[in-house]
Amino acid sequence: MTDFPLTTYHLLTLGCAKNVADSDGIGGILDESGYASVADARDADVLIVNTCGFLQASRKESLGALRELAAHKRDGQVLIAAGCLISRYGERVQREVPEVDAVIDAGKWLALPRLIQYLQVDENVPDDWLTNAYAGLPLEQLAARSIVEQLPRAPHGPSAYLKIADGCDRPCTFCIIPTIKGAHRSKPADAVIAEARDLVARGVQEIILVAQDTTAYGWDLGMRDALAPLIERICNEVEGLRWLRLMYAYPGHITPRLIETMARLPQVVHYLDVPLQHAHAETLKRMKRPNIGVMHKMLDDLRAAMPDLAIRTTFIVGFPGETDDEFNALLEFLNEQQFDRVGVFEFSREDGTPAAYLENQVAARVKKDRREQAMAVQQKISLAKNRACVGKTLDVLIEGVGDGVSIGRTYRDAPEVDGVVLIQKEIPPGKFARAQITGAMEYDLTAQVSAE
> Measured between alpha carbons, how far is residue 205 from residues 189, 244, 246, 248 in Å?
20, 9, 14, 20
Q: How far apart are CA 42 and CA 134, in angstroms?
A: 29
Q: Count CB atoms within 10 A of the CB of residue 150.
A: 18
CA–CA–CA angle 418, 25, 74 (5° rounding): 95
Q: How far apart are CA 449 and CA 427, in angstroms?
A: 10
**Is 58 or 406 the residue whose CB approaches ligand SF4 more closely?**
58
Stretch that binds ligand SF4, among 149-157, 169-177, 308-316, 365-373 (CB under 6 A): 169-177
CB of residue 250 to ligand SF4, shortest distance in Å: 5
CB 227 within 8 A of CB 215: yes
**Is 76 or 171 the residue whose CB approaches ligand SF4 more closely?**
171
CB of residue 314 to ligand SF4, shortest distance in Å: 9
**Is 118 or 217 the residue whose CB approaches ligand SF4 more closely?**
217
Stretch that binds ligand SF4, among 106-114, 171-179, 343-351, 418-426 (CB under 6 A): 171-179
**Is 84 or 397 the residue whose CB approaches ligand SF4 more closely?**
84
**Is 213 or 399 the residue whose CB approaches ligand SF4 more closely?**
213
Residue 52 binds ligand SF4 (CB under 6 A)? no
CB of residue 205 to ligand SF4, shortest distance in Å: 28
Residue 175 binds ligand SF4 (CB under 6 A)? yes
Can you say how many angstroms the Cα of residue 140 is from the centroid of all Cα atoms in its chain? 24
Residue 178 binds ligand SF4 (CB under 6 A)? yes
Stretch that binds ligand SF4, among 39-47, 131-139, 164-172, 360-368 (CB under 6 A): 164-172
Residue 345 binds ligand SF4 (CB under 6 A)? no
User: Which residue, 300, 250, 310, 247, is CA-closest to 277?
Assistant: 250
CB of residue 51 to ligand SF4, shortest distance in Å: 17
> Measured between alpha carbons, how far is residue 195 from residues 186, 304, 337 in Å?
14, 33, 36
Residue 168 binds ligand SF4 (CB under 6 A)? yes
Q: Pick the binder of ligand SF4 from 114, 145, 170, 431 (CB under 6 A).
A: 170
Q: How far apart are CA 5 and CA 42, in angstroms?
A: 15
Stretch that binds ligand SF4, among 175-183, 233-241, 339-347, 380-388 (CB under 6 A): 175-183
Residue 413 binds ligand SF4 (CB under 6 A)? no
Q: Pick the binder of ligand SF4 from 69, 103, 115, 172 (CB under 6 A).
A: 172
CB of residue 175 to ligand SF4, shortest distance in Å: 3
- What secondary structure does DSSP assign to 21-87, as a single string? HHHHHHHHHHHHTT-EE-SSGGG-SEEEEEE--SSHHHHHHHHHHHHHHHHTPPTT-EEEEEEHHHH
Residue 295 binds ligand SF4 (CB under 6 A)? no
Instruction: Report the C-alpha dihedral over residues 140, 146, 148, 150, rounded to 10 degrees.
Output: 160
CB of residue 176 to ligand SF4, shortest distance in Å: 8
**Is 101 or 166 the residue whose CB approaches ligand SF4 more closely?**
166
> Measured between alpha carbons, how far is residue 424 from residues 26, 160, 233, 258, 387 in Å?
36, 25, 38, 38, 19
Please tell me the number of Cα atoms within 13 Å of 80 on its side-chain side: 30
> Measured between alpha carbons, how far is residue 391 from residues 292, 329, 439, 448 in Å?
35, 34, 8, 10
Q: Pick the binder of ligand SF4 from 118, 219, 250, 271 (CB under 6 A).
A: 250
3-state secondary structure of 183: coil
Q: What is the largest CA-CA distance in the chain?
A: 65
Q: Name residues whose C-beta falls within 8 Å of residue 200's C-beta, 6 or more positions apart in sequence.
A: 207, 238, 239, 240, 241
CB of residue 213 to ligand SF4, shortest distance in Å: 5
Q: Pick the binder of ligand SF4 from 93, 142, 177, 362 (CB under 6 A).
A: 177
CB of residue 18 to ligand SF4, shortest distance in Å: 10
**Is 28 or 218 the residue whose CB approaches ligand SF4 more closely?**
218
Number of residues near ligand SF4 (by CB under 6 A): 9
Strands (DSSP E) found in 248-364? 268-273, 310-317, 341-346
β pairing state of 341-346 and 393-402: unpaired
**Is 101 or 350 the residue whose CB approaches ligand SF4 more closely?**
350
By CB under 6 A, the residues from 182 to 221 that bind ligand SF4 are: 212-213
Stretch that binds ligand SF4, among 90-98, 165-173, 352-360, 400-408 (CB under 6 A): 165-173
Strand order in the sheet with 36-37: 36-37, 8-13, 46-51, 78-83, 102-105
**Is 160 or 175 the residue whose CB approaches ligand SF4 more closely?**
175
Contacts with ligand SF4, residue ranges (CB under 6 A): 168, 170, 172, 175, 177-178, 212-213, 250
